[in-house]
Structure formats: C-alpha cells, structure tokens
Amino acid sequence: MTVTTRFAPSPTGQLHVGNIRAALHNWMFARGRGGRFVLRIDDTDAERSEERFVDGILADLAWLGLTHDAMVRQSERFALYQARFDALVAAGRIYPAYESAQELDLKRKILLGRGLPPVYDRGALALTDADKARLEADGVRPHWRFRLDHDAPIAWDDLIRGPQAFDARTMSDPVVRRADGSWLYMLPSAIDDADLGITHVVRGEDHVSNTALQLQMFDAMQVAPPCFAHEALLTGAEGKLSKRLGSLGVEHFRESGIEPQAVIALLARIGTSDPVEPIADPAPLIAAFDFARFGRAPARFDEAELAQVNARIVHQLPHDAVADRLPAGMGAAEWDAVRPNLSSVAEAADWWRVIEGPVDAPAPDDETRAYLAQAATLAASIDWAGDPWHALTAALKDVTGRKGKALFLPLRQALTGLDHGPDMAALLPLIGRERTMARLSG
C-alpha cells in the first residue's frame, strides 16, 4: 500500500496558519513514508470560488516547499459524484427531503424547547410518491440527505485521539446535495478519498463528527475508509481560539520577514511532545514525525515564538540561499559578518548601509574626539591584511591605557553610528582602511 494523503482547501480565500499546519502534517506524513501527497481544490461552491485564490494556494504551498504529486479540482469531477450519488439513491441510502429552511428551523426549536437534541426526524421518509409528486408540482425542489444506518456502530481508532465511537441515532441524516443540485462537502469528499486512494487523512478535531458520518458513506459505497488523525486546534498566544489566526497566512509571514523554514519548524512541533527547534532542513522533522507524539491539548501558536525561531533560522542560512534578497554588492563575507545580529534577512540592508556609509555617529566630546584622532592615526599604520580590529584596539590600549567599554564603545559609535551590532573584528575589514580613517577623523 502506498501511503497517500491529501490537502483539500477551498479557493474562497487565502490559506491561514491552521490550513498551513494541516497541509504540512499531511505532506510530512506522506514524505516520511515514501508516499504521495495530493492537492485537492474543493471548488464545488461556484459562487464563492475564485481562480485568484487557487493561484494563491499554489503560490503559498510553493513558498513553503510543500510540493504535491497530483492535483485535482472537484469542479471537474461532477460526473463521478453523480454516478456515486445515483447508485446510493438506488440503494436507498440517499433520499429526497422537501422541508424548507424555515420548517427545519422550527423543528429544531421545538426539540430544543423539549430538552431534546435537535436531530432530524426523517419526516421525508414518510412521504408517499403521491406526496412527492404533489410537492414538486407545487414547485418544491428537494434537497438530498444521506440515510444513516442506525443499527451499525460507528467506531474507529484515531491515530491521535485513540478509540472513537458514535451512535448514529444521535445524529441527523446529513444533507449532501442542495435543492439547486450543488454539492455540500461531505459526500464529494468521501467519494474523492475513495477514488484517489487516500490512505490517511490528517485534519482538525472539529471534523471528528464529519468523520463519523463519512465512515458510513464509505461503507455504503463498499470501499475501505482512510485512517484518520484528528489533531487539536490551534489557539492564540493567550490560550484561546483566536480570530486573528484566521488572518495569519503566508503573505503576513513574508511581510514580517519570516522564513518558510521557520514556519515549518514551528508548525511541525507545536502540539507535540517534541521541543520546537530552529531546524532549517525539513528532513529531520519529517523523520521524527509521529502521531504518537501529538497531544490532545490545544496547540498554542505564538507569533513571538515564531519570530525567535525565525531569527535562529536566519543565523543558519548560507549566502547563496539569500543572495537574491541582499543589497547589490553584499557578498558572502558581509553576510557572514552581520548574520548573527539579524532577526530577518531584510535587516541585512541596514548593516550594509553601516558598512558602505555614511554613518550618523553621535557628536563626540573633546576628550573622545582626541581619542578618535589617535585611533585614526594608528589605523593608518596597522596591518590591514590580518586582524585590524584587534591590532587597532591593542595599539590604542598601549597608547591610552584605556580598556573595556572606554576603549571599545567610542570606536564602535564612530565607525557604525550605533552602540551595538556585529562583532567588530568581522565588520572592520569590510568597512576598510580608508572609510575607517575617515570616520574616526570625523
């Protein structure tokens, strides 16, 4: 059996961090087992689906490096759905229902008022052919429900949640097709999983009841269901479900200077017993991916933690991985010098300006001005082919007797305009002899 997973976004908006996490885990599970990862575009909702969102989904997955082995669109598979639908109607597992939305709402309110669960009463099954003909003659078009088997137990061993069991009697027969002929999510998704050979489905725990219903659909179609793993939902840093998580996506991460490796490193591990680590290569993350490590508690997504992971990822990136995002002329030596001080690649431009100049140094007092003049004189005489920073500071220490902050800080301020930054031993050779002397001389 070839492990086959899928990610099935609807092109009605941009991917958010919760979608990305589901895509990542399906991709990781497939890649770790030499399997296939299928991208299924759930575009049955013609009114809300837009091609620009399809393009956005593809671009976001590409940026993250989540390559797919096959891509299908539900809008191109209606003939398959119709064939399965017709077979299930003939088998008595799908039936027409004629209640209006208002009638169904009234039924629910009556049941709730009696303290009963709002389960559909299957009133449509009591209609005779004559009743149906009369309703349709009056212009009432039916929607369609999947008839659950109340005598069949619904149970599965969830890869994260463990043994799960539902009683079909406590559940409403789900609507699978609207009166206008359009499809709802449940049946086409099950048909696709069967047709595409999906062996494992990783999704949020908010789909657990959907899985219970779909297991009966698989059984009605006489196909083996996939294995299911329902993971805890993401929460915000405050520990609650957050609407903000629905707005955080690839565009936001890119604008914030977040690297795709940081997103993957964080989302691969939050909600598991493994520590979040700044791992730039997904291979070890994939190798360690195991549903047994997932917990049942909500997974806490913290942008501050993502920023910390990102900075540590940036510190690992080689020059050739970022060269196309650096200022013109900034080479490997400059990148290696400033990289340990960066939170994002974009910040390298700030340090390039420090190297190239001019810098806006604080105005020195008379004593500091004299000290910097001595430094400029010594800078002209030291060996710049070796380690000019330590040569300069050693000479200054001998001449002036200064040490510590009094020795180093005025030099850093004059040379960079800042009180802190990259190691001056790495930075000074990049600033160079002529610019160093000019900045020290004021």
Contacts of the segment 282-289: beta carbons below 8 A, 24+ positions apart: 282/28, 282/65, 285/28, 286/28, 286/31, 286/32, 287/32, 289/25, 289/28, 289/29, 289/32
Tell me the binding residues: 243
Give the three-class secondary structure for 437.
helix
What's the CA gap between 110 and 309, in Å, rounded? 53
Contacts of the segment 263-269: beta carbons below 8 A, 24+ positions apart: 263/20, 263/64, 263/306, 264/24, 264/64, 264/65, 265/309, 265/313, 266/301, 266/305, 266/306, 266/309, 267/17, 267/20, 267/21, 267/24, 267/301, 268/24, 268/25, 268/28
Return the beta strands (E) in 159-271 as ranges.
162-166, 175-177, 200-204, 227-231, 234-235
Matching residue, tokens 């229902």: 97
Contacts of the segment 287-296: beta carbons below 8 A, 24+ positions apart: 287/32, 289/25, 289/28, 289/29, 289/32, 291/159, 291/160, 291/229, 294/160, 294/229, 294/231, 294/232, 295/232, 295/271, 296/160, 296/161, 296/232
What's the CA gap between 305 and 255, in Å, rounded? 17
37: Cβ–Cβ under 8 A, 6 or more apart, which residues? Answer: 4, 5, 6, 7, 26, 27, 30, 31, 66, 67, 68, 69
428 close to 337: Cβ distance less than 8 angstroms: no
279 close to 285: Cβ distance less than 8 angstroms: yes
252: Cβ–Cβ under 8 A, 6 or more apart, which residues? Answer: none
Nearest one of 174, 167, 172 to 151, comparing CA atoms:
167
253 close to 344: Cβ distance less than 8 angstroms: no
Tell me the binding residues for ATP: 243
**Which residues does residue 72 pair with via DSSP β-bridges, in sequence order?**
40
The structure tokens listed for 164 are 């799960």
